[in-house]
Amino acid sequence: MLELVENVVKTSHYLFNRKLVSGKAGNVSARFKNPDGDVITITPTEISLSQVNTKNIVLLNTDGFSINKNIPSSELPLHLEIYKKRPDVNGIVHTHSPYATGFSFSTQKIKRMEGLGDTDKLYLAEVPYEPPGSKKLAFNVSKMIKNEDVILLKNHGLVVAGKNTEQAALMAEFVEEMAKTQFIAQFLNSMNKD
Ligand SMILES: [Zn+2]
């Protein structure tokens, strides 16, 4: 359990240092499988991911009840819904990384590259806009997460589910790289028009 908490702390700092989140945005969680009831550990509300530590991190049961009295990220419903739908997922990250989020605010879609789920689909999965932290946003994501590990949130950011937090963070970084590459390619192509 302590190892899991330390992984969430490490992943939070990684996302911040890699500039995939900034300010107080973004959140990270992990699930500890336990025969007496799973425990979820998630980053706290109103604290930058750069400042997350083993003391301010939140421990909850799967109903969202805080075991250690710390207050969880407002995106807790999103995390809980994903864990409910995906027994294989034990780590989730949510970021507002600039290029992927830029695409979410635009009419352009992020193309999939190899190694990103069901490659028959041309573009990354996207859910329509609902307010951050809302039950509706959590519900929309939970419907789509069955067949996807990466979902773009319209006009908001990105959520990635993985077998642990480290894997989810690396995938979020990969998607940001894809979005950046696509942006550069589209920009260069637009310069060819004369
Ligand atoms: Zn967000």
pLDDT in the model for residue 21: 96
Q: Which two tokens stand for residue 101?
A: 């989020």
**Ion ligand 1: protein residues whose beta carbon lies under 5 Å:** 132, 157
Residue 10 alpha carbon to ligand 1 centre in Å: 19
Produce one character per residue of 67-101: b if its CB has 16 or more CB atoms within 10 Å, e if not: eeebebbebbbbbbbbbeebeebbbbbbbbbbbbb
Domains of the chain in start order, with CATH, are: 2-191 (3.40.225.10)
Residue 179 CA to residue 8 CA, distance in Å, equals 25
Does the pLDDT of residue 167 top 70, yes or no? yes
Cβ–Cβ under 8 Å, residues 103 and 123: no
Is 75 a known active-site residue?
yes
Query: How many residues are recorded in the chain?
Result: 194
Q: Quickly state the pLDDT bin for 72 (edges 50, 70, 90).
A: very high
pLDDT beyond 90 at 80: yes
The model's pTM is 0.94
CA distance 159 to 94: 4
